[in-house]
Structure 1
Amino acid sequence: MTLTLTATVAAVLLAVGYYIECAVFPWGKCLKCEGNGKKMSPTGKHWRPCRRCKGTGKRLRVGRRVWNWLQRRHRDAT
């Protein structure tokens, strides 16, 4: 019983921590260009803007996308 309770509390704390992180820092660095906003061309001679983040180096976190979807759904329901 104690192990189950400990695992549940740990999961809840992780979820609350991730929620706070997504609320305070909604943008993370792009995983493809590692936050640089540019990628090396296939030949290795030129830099090009990252296609995934469009050269910004930022991406919206998954938790923030879910939060925005829930807010939109709630707003449309009322």
Structure 2
Amino acid sequence: MTTIALLASLLPLSYAAWYLILCVVSPWGRCRRCHGRRYHRTAIGTRRDCRRCDGTGRRARIGRRLAEYIRAEYRAGNR
């Protein structure tokens, strides 16, 4: 029974470690609004550059932004 509990507790930790490695190796992910197409369709059917990614189709991953925020707060506190 303890092996199941140990496995259940290690699963979220291993997922978090994998996501951290992914954010370090590849900090850019596809934009969730335009799905990496660099544009989105408006209500009348025309194409417009995506405002979230500025038409690049790539955005920083949430984990990367969180790590940069923590790093900036840490450096600001040490001054």
Query: What's the TM-score bracket when you normalise by the shorter of the two chains?
Result: 0.7 to 0.9
Asked if residue 36 in structure 1 is aligned to residue 37 in structure 2, the reply is yes
Q: Structure 1: 5+ residue runs without aligned partners?
A: none
1:42 is displaced (CA, Å) by: 2.1
Q: Which digits, 9 at most, give the CA deviation of each residue in 1:33-68, with x for residues without a partner?
A: 110111123222x32101221111111111111100
> Which AA in structure 2 matches 1:2?
T
Q: Which digits, 9 at most, give the CA deviation of each residue in 1:8-43, with x for residues without a partner?
A: 111111111000000011110011111011112322
Normalised to the residue count of structure 1, the TM-score between the two structures is: 0.88
Q: What corresponds to 2:56 in structure 1?
A: 56
Q: What corresponds to 1:66 in structure 2?
A: 66
Q: Structure 2: 5+ residue runs without aligned partners?
A: none
| Helix, strand or coil at the partner of 1:70 | helix
Normalised to the residue count of structure 2, the TM-score between the two structures is: 0.87
Cα RMSD after superposing both structures: 1.2
- What CA distance in whole angstroms lies between the structure 1 residues aligned with 2:77 and 2:56? 34
Give the paired residue count.
77
Q: What corresponds to 1:15 in structure 2?
A: 16
1:7 is displaced (CA, Å) by: 1.1
